[in-house]
C-alpha cells in the first residue's frame, strides 16, 4: 500500500530546503497517516487516514 490517505487522496509532496549557501536540498514531506478501524458496508476494515480527515470527522471509528 502506498502512503496515501484513502479518504482525501493526500500524497507526499516534494519540498526544497535552502541552505545558507543557497544549495537546494529536495526532500519528501509525507502526510501524517494513521491506521484506523472503520465500519464500511457492515464489515470492519483497516484503512490509512490522514489526521486532517480524522479531525474533520470524515471518518467514523469503530470501537
Q: What is residue 40's predicted lDDT score, i.e. its pLDDT? A: 87
Describe the chain by its helix, strand, coil percentages, rounded to 5: 10, 45, 45
Structure confidence at residue 1 (pLDDT): 55
What cell numbers appear for 41 in the block? 458496508
- Mapping DSSP to helix (H, G, I), strand (E, B) and coil, where does residue 28 land? strand
pLDDT at 43: 92
pTM: 0.78
The domain limits of the chain are 13-56
pLDDT tens-digit profile of 1-57? 589 999 999 999 999 999 999 999 999 999 999 999 999 888 999 999 999 999 999
Amino acid at each position: 500500500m502506498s502512503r496515501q490517505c484513502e479518504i482525501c487522496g493526500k500524497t507526499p509532496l516534494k519540498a526544497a530546503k535552502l541552505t545558507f549557501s543557497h544549495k537546494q536540498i529536495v526532500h519528501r514531506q509525507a502526510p501524517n497517516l494513521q491506521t484506523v478501524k472503520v465500519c464500511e458496508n457492515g464489515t470492519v476494515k483497516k484503512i490509512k487516514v490522514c489526521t486532517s480527515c480524522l479531525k474533520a470527522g470524515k471518518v467514523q471509528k469503530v470501537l
